[in-house]
Structures are given as structure tokens and as C-alpha cells.
Amino acid sequence: MKLEAIGLKKYFPLTSGFSLRGPRGWVKALDGVSVQVAEGETLGIVGESGSGKTTLAKLFLLLERPTSGSLLFDGKAVGDFGREDLVRYRRAVQAVFQDPYSSLNPRMRVGQIVAEPLPRDNGMSRPMVAQRVAEVLQLVGLPRESPALYPHEFSGGQRQRIAIARALVTYPKLIILDEPVSALDVSIRAQILNLLKHLQEKLGLAYVIISHDLAAARYLATRLAVMYAGKLVETGECDAVYAAPLHPYTEALLSAALPLHPSARRQRIVLAGEVPNPVNPPAGCRFHPRCPRVLPQCSSQEPEWREVKPERFTACHLY
Amino acid sequence: MREPSPLLVVENLKTHFFTRRGVTKAVDGVSFTLHAGETLALVGESGSGKSVTCLSLVRLVPEPAGRIVGGRVLLEGEDLLQKSSAEMRRVRGKKIAMVLQDPLTSLNPALTIGTQVGEVVRLHQGLRGTPLRERVLEAPRRLRIPAAGTRLRHYSHQFSGGMRQRVSSAIGLSCAPRLLIADEPTTALDVTIQAQYLELLKEVQASAGVAIILVTHDFGIVAAIADRVAVMYAGRIVEMGSTLQVFDNPSHPYTRALLRCLPDVGLKREQLVEIGGQPPDLARLPQGCPFAPRCPERQPVCHETYPPSVPVAGGHAASCWAAPGAKTRA
Amino acid sequence: MRAARHDVPWFPGLVLAALVFTAVFAFYLAPHSPTAGDITQKLIPPVWMEQGEWEHPLGTDRFGRDVLSRIIHGSRISLIVSLIAIGVAGTIGTLLGLISGYRGGVTDAVLMRVTDVGLSLPTILIAVVLVAVSEPSFSNVVLVIALLLWPRFARQMRGETLAIKEQDFVALAVVAGRSSAWIISRHIFPNVVPTLLVISTLQVGYVVLLEGTLSFLGVGVPPPSPAWGLMIADGRGFLATAWWISLFPGLAMVLTVLSVNLLGDWLRDHLDPKLRQLGRAAVLEAPAAASVGSPVDEAPVRGAAAGGDGA
């Protein structure tokens, strides 16, 4: 299983209502992102608001179509998918979202919710469906009686388990986790993160975990991709990036993520300014207005995406 | 330099909510002291009572369901719980300011920022005209809001989230309060913006000598800027001490469990140690220590009586039967 | 007002139950025929006045028809007109609203413009014209009312659809590979039902009044039907002398509309917040009582809502 994004761009039109002229401008949510996930690994995508990470997740899940660029699944371009391919993709790629309350339809029973991704037409019989549902519910540690109950009878952490069970029901290869624990209580996060890790080992799953919480991303990810203002700024093996970030933004991001001891402090880099306007991003390197190590060419020339060290990619004029 | 007498003394504060389902003991005997220029972090998860504690300090607990049923809150020696509403109104904004989590709803979208800052200043300092204008410019300047002069004429939707939070804080600080209560001020902010904000807060505190009560669920923030920390669970403080003391020697099983179950950005953990079970139902608290059902070190006495506060070191105490020095009843 | 949320609406509930009961069993309850009058018995005042009789507790009209019996049978008309008109309008409106809200884009724009036209039509005028062009009949009245009513449903349901569409479970249904038809019917529709109920209830009052007005104007249900509006019209010339002919059907109408509106308000208070509470707000509350014990093999506590309805 391999999912590959090549030069993905997603621009949203800025229109004022029902205008007959073209859009006034474009929100460049994603501006050329190339990244890949292979079987069994976990790609962590980190970034702040406006980075484009959520848009990337939507593209992976085919909830939006890219403005340009392509997405390849096992070598075949998603744009060329036929009906069969689409069905297969949907079964192989599932998702868990941030909000355990809005992820479950309050009017459906848990059993129905979990069974939803399973094929209806000439797929599985009722008893088979019930059995599979029971299997996944047990995998995530929910009680046997759960299928008949409604979501409101469960706590936040348990609801997230239901969401995870549902993502597992079709024997997927890849699960997109969009901020899977951000909305949960701190003591519950460990439960869910451990569960995700355990499931990955047991079932050979690949994950894409999108998070603004660098600590949670670090716990699960094998590879890390850092995004800023719609572009990728750095990728590499997870621990390597955390230990020695290449791009100044990664450095600042990591230094802002607070470690769990008063004296364990990284060199504190506090960035000035704000995340750029996606309609009109800065020329050259998007980060240059805030970069503590800015060079003259950064404001005019966009840096090239290069492999600076073995398996470590970045786009920065420093290299 | 610490002033000898504390700015704020909270003694055995109790705030309960009375609903059809029963009585929810949101805050059930909270005591702490705070000196000028100090930052105290109130840490806990949802339902721990940290937010209700703050609301109780300024007497903004939603009525009629909520009521402060006991305790004393002494601000510079005066008990706030005994004051009339008119007197409290003079305290709020002037002596105690609050910054809340959601910068979007903290500001009135229909008024300019300048109006909102000016409102507070005019109310508490009685300034008009030029002195008012100058005062209004001060706080945003101090919070590094760029082009403060022009920006005061803007509306809240023209600011980003981080800026809005600074504006809210500017409003809070505009009358030089003695105490600033910040309830999860950075939860809705990006991590780099959070770093900016926390730096700023520390600066302002250093220059203005304001005491800060910071409510958070994030131990990282605690480690970064708090002088002292109080860990809350089910409406009570289970452990309190200086930040260094609590992090180096967590003496309550809940604190220990929390620190162990958090992923750390500084190192790759192999396994997060989970805390089993679920947070407690505040309307149906068990007898004895509310953490007992989930506590790996529970003993029979834990299910019967709430543990006393046991001193661990100078200024560091934990409420636990298993803490060394806790005398179990015969 | 929070306490009021849990008060069961006794008054409107009873009144409406009585109304439905009367309508269903009209033929057994009414002491006289609603249409056949005895001219010798005309203009008899209600029983508590001089010359009143127990035979005709609320008096008779100028054709000697018993007012009480007419009111009882009139309730059937009001009820049936409401049910059918709202049923038809509700179905069409909801369907259009759901599709418009879910699909968005051009479909939405076009449908909403049509709805706008529908909403801006002067109701009474159109009704008068439409019925005048054809001829007053029961089915025409129902049709006219339904035609004027569906845009309200469409608009509301579209709004609800837009809100529900934002919920993650809809996106997840797409990720699960489900078709739009499935999503609309299994996800969107069940979640708009509470609002649909509320709107429908609140429209009943409007329909009853509208039917009454149309009948009063002579373009509604044709005589000699005992429609309340017609009764009021009939009594117009006698307001000073035989006031009971117009007053009692008027009171019946007021009572019905009032009860229905009270019930609708109660429904709205009672149903909507519960729906909203299942969202973000509940996360900030203690996740209380939803379940106990460690995740594996521990049964959740039944019937307790996370976030509940407390403070």
C-alpha cells in the first residue's frame, strides 16, 4: 500500500456571493505539497492554523478535489479511478476526526454507526455484519452491549473509540487521524494514543496523523512533515527532525512546544508576527517575514525543495 | 521580592451547583494563597473545578443553579464573599481582571477595540478626554499590539486570534489590577502564538507586579511560566507546591499519573502509562478520596475518609493517605 | 425559564387532545345535525341567557342550526385541512429544502429563488384569486394553503440541513463510501425531524387562521359546511343582537391556535436544546456518569446523558 501526493494544490475561490464575474481572488490553502505514506508507517503532519494540513487531509479522503497535482494510490492516479477503484480506495483509507461529539450521528445506534462503511450490495449478510462489528468493538475495548446503545450514553473517550472501531471495520490499510486526541481530556489521551499504537502493531496499519500537538505527533509518528502557509517546509525521520530541525520554522515550532519540566528548555525562539494571509502570501519564501535567520534572497526567490541530508528534505536558502 | 503579606488568601472555598440531578460539588474546599507578582497555575482536567474556582473568586458563578456555599476569599485582607454587588463591581476590572479562553466571544463585535478598553478605564478610573485617551493607548502598547494608535479604531473581527487575546488582556490590564485571572488563555491559539503570548504575560507581570492565576490543563505551560502550581481533582486541590517541587517530586498519585501519561515533545516515549477509568461524576462522588477508584496506590482507608493535607517539603503538600507522613487513623 | 423546560404542557395538551377527540367522534358527540336547521328554532340564545334552552347550549344561528354541533363538526374541518395541507406542504418543502441544502451550488440557488417568490406572494390575495378562478371547494382550499405553505418548510429545512452538513458524521459517511441519497435520508433527515415537528405544530395555528379567513371571505370551504370561518361570517350581521353565532366559533379558533402555539413552543424548547447539547458544549462539562470503570468490558451506565441538562 502506498499513498503518494505529488504537487497537490488546492485553491478556494473568494467570491462575494452570487457574482457573475470570476472570483476576486484565491485562498491558496495548499500550494504544491508532495508527500507519501507507505504500508505500516506513520506520517506525522504538523503545522499551525493556515498551514493547510486539514486541507491535505480532505484531499487524501477525497472530500475535496485538488486544483492541480495528483494523488496516487498504489501507483494509480485517483483522478483516473473507475467505480471499482473508488470503492476499493474507500475501503482501504478511513478516517478519525477530532470531535468525538460531531463524529457520531446522535440518532443512530452505535452498531449502525460502526457498520456504515461495510458494503451493502451483495456484500455481507446481517449476521456477518454483526459479527464484524462485534470484533472491532472488542478490538477498541468497548463493552459487548455497545451496538444497541446510542452515542450519548458514552463519554468522550469512548466515543472516540467508537469512531476508531468504525474506521477499522473494512480492514483498512491507512487511517487518516485528524487531531484524534485534541478534544479529549488529558488523562484520556494516553488511553487513545496507546490504543492507536497497539492497533497499528497488531493490524499493520499505516497512519497519517495530523496534529498541532507536537508531543502527540512525536509519540506516534515514524516520519514527520512540517507545514507552513500551504507548503511543506521540512520532512524527515521523526526523531531526527525533533533532535535537529533543519528549517527555522521547525526550530521555532519545536521551541514553542513546551516540554514537561521547568528546567528542560530548548533555546526559546519566539516568532514575531502572524501566520500569513493565504490569499496573498509573501513573495519568495513564505516564512521570510518572520524568519530569525532570513537572508537577502529569501524575499524574492522561493527556495527549492531538496534532500539536504540523507532522508531529510527541506526548502530553505540556508542550505 | 515577595511582600510579606499575601495578596489573596482563599480559605476552604466551596461552590456547589443545585440541579434536578442533585448537588454537584464543583468546588469543595479549596484553599491557597497568592503573593503579588507571583504566578499560580491551577491544573486539572474538565470537571476538576478550576474554572468554577476562578468564577467564584470574582463571584460570577452562574445563578441560581450555582452558589458559593462556604469559605472566605480575602483580597488584600477584605473578604470578597461578604461584599455587596455594587462593591464587587468596583473590584472587578479594577483589582481583579479576567481573561478567558475564547478570544472571539470575549470581545464585543459591534464596538471598536478602543471603545472597549476605554469603557473599563472610564468606569474604574473616571478619566475623560486626553488622559483617557493616553491611558487607553498604554495597555495595548504594553502588550505589543503593533500600531496601537490606529488599531484601536478597529473591530474585533479585524484581528487574528492571537491578537484578540492580547486585546482582551489589554482590556483586563488597562486599570492596573492587582490580580489577573487567565482561564485557559492560550488553548485556542496556535503554539507559536501561544509562546508569544506567554512571553508577553511574563513581561507584563515583571513590569506591573500583577499576580496571575493561570488555569490550564497543559503541564507544559505550567512548567514554562508558573511559580507555583495547584493540581485539582474533583473540586479539591490534591497537591500544591512550587513548580520545581511538584515536577521533581510529584507526591500525589494523580499528579504522578498525569505526568506519566502525557506525551513529551522532548523525548520519545515508549509507552504512555494510562490512568484507568473515567473522571468522576461530581454529582455522585464516592465517599473518601474521589481519586481512589482509579488510584494505583489505593488503600482501604482511601474509600472511607478524605485524606488530610500532608506536608512533603517547605511549601509543598499533597492530600493523600499514601504520602509519607500521612497518619492513618487507627 | 429553565425550570419551565421540564414542565409538561398540560393545558395545551389537554385542549388539543379534546380537539382531536371531538373531531374524531364528532358524529357521536354533536347533539344535532350541523347542516340541517329548524327554522322555527332560529336565533335562540345560549342556555345561560333568557329564552335559552338546554336543547341548544350555545344557541342557534339564523337558519336554526345548533351552534354547538356546528362548532364540533367545524373542528373536523379545521383538523383535516391542517393535517392535509401541512402534510403536503411539509413533504414537498422538506424534500426541496434537504436537497437544496445538501447539494448547494446552482441547485440551491435556483430552488431558493423559487422559494423566495413563494414567500413573497401575498397570501390572502393569491388565495382569493386562485379560488375565484376555480370554485370554492374543500380540496381547492387545501391545495391553496399547501401551495402557500411549502416555502416556509423549504427554507427552514434548508437551514437545518446546512447546519447538520457541517457535522463530522456527514463527512465520515462520505468517507465510508455512502451515496448522497443515503446520507440525506439516514443522516440529515433524522436530525431535522425535531425541527420539522416544531415547525409543523406552529404552522397548524397559521393554517387554522388562514382557513378561517378564507372561509370568512367566502373563498374557503363552501357553505353549508360548518367551518369556523364561515360561521363567523354568517354571524357578522348579527353581532349586536345574536352575538353568539360569531363569538363561539371565534373562541374555538382562538383556543385551538393558542394551544397549538403553546405546544409548539414547548416542543421547541424541549427538543432543540437537547440536540444542541450533544455538540461541543458538552465537552467542557465533566463527562459525568456516562460510564464507569476501565474501558475493557465495563458496561456504561444506561440512560445517563453525557453533559446532561444540568448547569
Grid cell locating B293:
477508584
Q: Do C286 and B278 touch (CB under 8 A)?
A: no
Phi, psi angles (nearest 5°) of residue B203: -60, -50
- The pLDDT tens digits of the residues spanning C67-79 come to 888 888 888 888 8
Q: What is the pLDDT of residue B69?
A: 92
- Residue of B191, B247, B258 lying closest to A253 (CB–CB): B191
Q: Which residue of A has its CA nearest to B226?
A: A262
Using CB atoms, list chains with 3+ pairs below 8 Å to chain B: A, C
- The pLDDT tens digits of the residues spanning B89-106 come to 888 888 898 888 877 788
3-class secondary structure, B312: strand
Q: Which residue has the higher pLDDT, C36 or C254?
A: C254
Q: Do A108 and C283 touch (CB under 8 A)?
A: no
- The pLDDT tens digits of the residues spanning A209-253 come to 999 888 899 999 999 999 999 999 999 999 999 999 999 999 999
Work out the minimum CA distance from B282 to partner chain A, whole angstroms. Answer: 15
Q: Do B259 and A260 touch (CB under 8 A)?
A: yes
Residue of C168, C284, C309 best to disrupt the A interface, most CBs of A under 10 A: C168
Q: Is the peptide bond before A310 cis (omega within 30 degrees of 0)?
A: no
Residue B196's closest CA among C153, A138, C272, A272?
A272
Amino acid identity for residue B6 in this structure: P
Q: What is the pLDDT of residue C305?
A: 32
Work out the minimum CA distance from A61 to partner chain B, whole angstroms. Answer: 25
The answer on pLDDT for A44 being more than 90 is yes
Secondary structure in 3-state letters for chain A: CEEEEEEEEEEEEECCCCCCCCCCEEEEEEEEEEEEEECCCEEEEECCCCCCHHHHHHHHCCCCCCCEEEEEECCEEHHHCCHHHHHHHHHHEEEECCCCCCCCCCCCCHHHHHHCCCCCCCCCCHHHHHHHHHHHHHHCCCCCCHHHCCHHHCCHHHHHHHHHHHHHCCCCCEEEEECCCCCCCHHHHHHHHHHHHHHHHHHCCEEEEEECCHHHHHHHCCEEEEEECCEEEEEEEHHHHHHCCCCHHHHHHHHHCCCCCCCCCCCCCCCCCCCCCCCCCCCCCCCHHHCCCCCHHHHCCCCCEEEEECCEEEECCCC
Amino acid identity for residue C250 in this structure: G
The secondary element (H helix, E strand) that includes residue B19 is: strand B8-19
- The pLDDT tens digits of the residues spanning A136-177 come to 999 999 999 999 999 999 999 999 999 999 999 999 999 999
The answer on pLDDT for B10 being more than 70 is yes
Whether A182 contacts chain C with CB within 8 A: no
Report the percent of chain A where pLDDT is more than 70: 96
Q: Which of A1-15, B259-273, C165-179 has the lowest mean pLDDT?
A: B259-273
- Chain A residues close to C176, C-beta within 8 Å: 90, 94, 116-117, 166
3-class secondary structure, B60: coil
Q: What is the pLDDT of residue B109?
A: 82
- The pLDDT tens digits of the residues spanning B179-228 come to 999 999 888 888 888 888 888 888 888 888 899 999 998 888 898 899 99
Integer Cα distance of B238 and B32 in angstroms: 12
DSSP C161: H
Q: What is the pLDDT of residue A20?
A: 65
Q: Do C311 and B281 touch (CB under 8 A)?
A: no
Q: What mean pLDDT comes out for the span A124-135?
A: 90
Reported as a pLDDT band with limits 50, 70 and 90, residue C37 is confident
Whether A107 contacts chain C with CB within 8 A: yes
The answer on pLDDT for C127 being more than 80 is no
Q: What mean pLDDT comes out for the span C148-174?
A: 93
Amino acid identity for residue A133 in this structure: V
> What is the CB neighbour count within 10 angstroms for residue C186?
17
Q: Which residue of A has its CA nearest to C297?
A: A143
Write the CA distances from B169 to B181, B197, B267, integer angstroms: 10, 10, 33
Q: Do A101 and C283 touch (CB under 8 A)?
A: yes
Phi, psi angles (nearest 5°) of residue A243: -75, -40
Report the percent of chain C where pLDDT is more than 70: 85
Q: Do B46 and C309 touch (CB under 8 A)?
A: no
Q: Which residue of C has its CA nearest to B44?
A: C286
Grid cell locating B25:
460539588
Q: What is the pLDDT of residue A18?
A: 59
Residue of B151, B160, B191 best to disrupt the A interface, most CBs of A under 10 A: B191
Reported as a pLDDT band with limits 50, 70 and 90, residue C289 is very low
3-class secondary structure, B152: coil
Grid cell locating B224:
514554562
Using CB atoms, list chains with 3+ pairs below 8 Å to chain A: B, C
Q: Do A270 and B194 touch (CB under 8 A)?
A: no
Whether B85 contacts chain C with CB within 8 A: no
- Chain C residues close to A153, C-beta within 8 Å: 290-291, 300-306
- Chain B residues close to C308, C-beta within 8 Å: 21
- The pLDDT tens digits of the residues spanning B236-295 come to 999 999 999 999 999 999 999 988 888 887 777 777 888 877 788 888 888 889 999 989
